[in-house]
Chains A and B, each alone.
Chain A
Amino acid sequence: MRGTLLIARLTWLETRRRKIALAALICGLLFLAVFGTAMYFGFNLARAGGPLGDSPPDVVGMRVAATVLTVAGLYVVNFLVTAVAILLPIDSLSGEIGSGVIQTLASKPVDRAAIVVGKWLAYLLMTAAYLTLMGGGVVLIMRLFADYTAPHVLAPMGLMLLGAATMLSITIAGGVRLSTITNGIVAFGFYGVAFIAGWIEQILSMFGNATARHVGTVVSLVSPSDSMWRRAAYELQPLATAVLQNGPFGVVSVPSAVMIAWAAGFCVVVLWFAVWQFRRRPL
C-alpha cells in the first residue's frame, strides 16, 4: 500500500509540474466561460420576452430548455472528462518503459502492481477533481443564470466518473504493451466504437430494431463508457424524459443497474489484466 501511495503521489506531482493538468483546466474554464456567457444572455433574453420584448416569458419552455441545456453542458463535460481520462495516462507507462525511467522504479522493493495501481489511482483522482469542477461549473451556471437546479446531480456525476474510469483503465492497460501513439489510437477507438454503437442503439431502438439494441449492448459490454453517459443523461432528466425522447439527449434504451455493476467490474478486470501483463513484461 505504501508503494501504491508513493507512486500515486509522484504521478500527481508529475502531472501538475508538467502543466498537463493546467492545460486541461484552462480548456475547461474556457468552455465554462463560453457556456456561462451563452446561458446568461439566452435566459435573460427569454425572461425579457424575446428579442423584441413583446411576448410573455414561457416558464415551462424555459424549464425544458434549462433541462436540455444542462444535459448538453454535461454532455460536453463528459466528453472533456473522458478525453482527460485517456490523455492523462496515455504516455505514463509506455513513456516510462520506452525511456527506461521504469527500470529504477521496478528495481525497488515495490510490487509492480503498486506502479500500475498507483498511477491509476492518481489519474482517477485527477479525473474526479476535473469532473467536479467542470460538472459543478455547469450546474452552478444553470442555477445562477437559468434558476434551474438539476435533480439527483450526484448520481449522474458518479456515472460519468465511472464511464471515464473505464477509459482510464483501458488506457493504463494499453500502456503496458503498446507504444504511446498506438495506445491513444486504441483508447479513442474504444470510445468511438462505444459512442457510435450507443447512437445506433438509440436511433434504431425507436423503430423497435432488436438487432441494433443487441449490438449496442454487446459494444457496451466491451466499452461501457457511453452506456454510463446514457444512464447519467437519463438520471438527469426524469421530468422531461418523455419530452426529450426524440431529442439529441433522449434515452430510449436505458442502461440497467447490471450494466453499472458491469462497468465497475470492467475497471477491476482491466486493471487486473494490466497488472498481470506488467508483471510479465520485460523492462
Chain B
Amino acid sequence: MPEYAIETAALRREFGRNVAVAGLSLAVPRGEVFGFLGPNGAGKTTSLKLLLGLVAPTSGSGTVLGAPLGTTEVRKRVGFLPEHFRFHDCLNARELLHFHGRLLGLPKRGLDTHIESLLLRVGLEDAAHRPLRTYSKGMTQRAGLAQAIMGSPELVFLDEPTSGLDPLGRLLVRDVIEELRANGASVFLNSHLLGEVEATCDRVAFVKNGLVLHELELDNATGTLDVELRVGQVDDALLEGLAAFGTGVTRDETLVRMHANSESMLPELARWLIGRGVALYELRCRRKSLEEWFVEVMGEDQRPG
C-alpha cells in the first residue's frame, strides 16, 4: 500500500493563456485530514479537479491512492462532494444513493441497508422519498455528503462541504470527517471556513496561483506557539540558551519573544530559566490562529480595501 493518498509533482493546468494551477506539488499521507486553503481564484477547485481526473493536467504528474491521475478503477475508492452540489433532481435521495452506489460497483445485496444507514447519518431519513428538487440547499448538500461517503472510500474530497449548512449541519460534517479519520480514510478538505479547518485538519497547505506557498501541521504545530518572556536581565548567553527551546528568538529590552517548538516545552523552559537564576516576571504563550497564518502567508496586500 502506498504511503501517500495523494502525491503530485509540478502539476500544471492552463486554460488558454490563463494559468489556473502553476505547479502543484503535494504529498498527503494516508489517514490524514488535509486542508487546502487559499484566496478566491487560487486554483483550489481546479487542483481538486486535476486530482479527481475531471480535468487533465497540461504538464506534471501525480498519483491518487497509488494510481496515476485519471485512473477510472481507483475512483471506486474515492468519494467526492463538489462545491456546486447539483444532482439529478428528479430523483429522491434514496434513488440518488442507489444510482451512485451502482455506479460505484457496490453489490445490490446489502446496498439498501447501506443507503438507509447513510440517510440516517446525514439526517435525511424522513425526506428520503421526496425528489431532490424539493430540498433546501442544506438538505441537498447533506444528500451530496451521503453519496460522497458511500462504499467507505479510502479518500474523500470535500469542496466547501458546509457552504449551505446551518451550524448543526456543520457539526455533522465535522463528525463525519472525524469518523472517516477514525476509519483510516484520508480527507482532502477545500474550505474557506478557517475555524472549521482548524477544528478538523491535521495539516494544511496554503495555495496561491496554483502553487503551495506553505504547509503547516496543526496538531502540535511546529513554530505556531508564540511565547513572550519578561525577565530581569537579558544577555547573549540567555538568548543562545533559549534557542534550544524554539525558533525566532528576539529581544526588546527585557522582553523576549520566540516560537516554541511545542507546548510541552513550556514547563521545561520555565525550569531552565529559574535554574539559571533568571528573574522570570512573566511567561505568556498563545497559538497563532489559522487566520493570522493565512494573512501572513498570503500577504497583507491580499486584503481588500
Contact = CB atoms under 8 A, between A and B. Distances in A.
Interface of A: 2-3, 6, 10, 13-14, 17-18, 99-101, 103-111, 280, 282-283
Interface of B: 15, 49, 52-56, 72-76, 78, 80, 82, 84-88, 90-91, 99-100, 102-105, 131, 144, 147
A283 to B, nearest CB: 4
28 contacts: A6-B103, A13-B90, A18-B90, A100-B86, A101-B86, A101-B87, A103-B49, A103-B82, A103-B84, A104-B80, A105-B103, A106-B53, A106-B54, A107-B52, A107-B54, A108-B103, A108-B104, A109-B73, A109-B74, A109-B75, A109-B76, A109-B105, A280-B56, A282-B15, A282-B54, A282-B56, A283-B54, A283-B55
Contacts of B56: 280, 282
Contacts of A111: 72
Contacts, number: 69
A104 B54 contact: no
Contacts of A104: 80, 82, 87, 100, 144, 147
A3 B103 contact: yes
Contacts of A106: 53-54
Given A100-B82, A107-B54, A282-B49, A14 B88 contact: yes
Contacts of A109: 72-76, 103-105
- At the interface, is chain A mostly helix, strand, loop or mixed? helix
B65 to A, nearest CB: 12
A14 B103 contact: no
Contacts of B103: 3, 6, 105, 108-110
A107 B103 CA distance: 10
Given A103-B82, A107-B53, 8 more contacts: A2-B105, A100-B84, A101-B86, A107-B75, A108-B103, A109-B75, A283-B54, A283-B55
A283 B49 contact: yes
A200 to B, nearest CB: 41
B52 A101 contact: no
Contacts of B144: 104
A253 to B, nearest CB: 45
Nearest to B71: A109
* Residue with the highest number of chain B CB atoms closer than 10 Å, among A14, A107, A283: A107
Contacts of B102: 2, 6
Contacts of A103: 49, 54, 80, 82, 84
A10 B99 contact: yes
Contacts of A18: 90
A280 B87 CA distance: 22
* Residue with the highest number of chain B CB atoms closer than 10 Å, among A14, A103, A105, A110: A103
Nearest to A114: B103
A111 B75 CA distance: 11
A163 to B, nearest CB: 30
* Residue with the highest number of chain A CB atoms closer than 10 Å, among B73, B74, B75, B76: B75
Nearest to A98: B86
Given A10-B99, A104-B144, A282 B104 contact: no
Nearest to B81: A104
Given A109-B104, A283-B49, A17 B90 contact: yes
Contacts of A100: 82, 84-86
Nearest to A103: B82
A109 B80 CA distance: 12
Contacts of A101: 86-88
- Top 3 A-B residue pairs of the complex, sorted by shortest distance between their CB atoms: A17-B90, A100-B84, A108-B103
A92 to B, nearest CB: 11
* Residue with the highest number of chain B CB atoms closer than 10 Å, among A10, A13, A108, A280: A108
A111 B53 CA distance: 11
A27 to B, nearest CB: 21
Contacts of B90: 13-14, 17-18
Contacts of B80: 103-104, 107
A134 to B, nearest CB: 25
Contacts of A14: 88, 90
A6 B55 CA distance: 23
A3 B91 CA distance: 18
Contacts of A10: 88, 91, 99
A193 B52 CA distance: 41
B74 to A, nearest CB: 8
Contacts of B104: 108-109
B111 to A, nearest CB: 13
Nearest to A101: B86
A104 B132 CA distance: 15
Contacts of B82: 100, 103-104
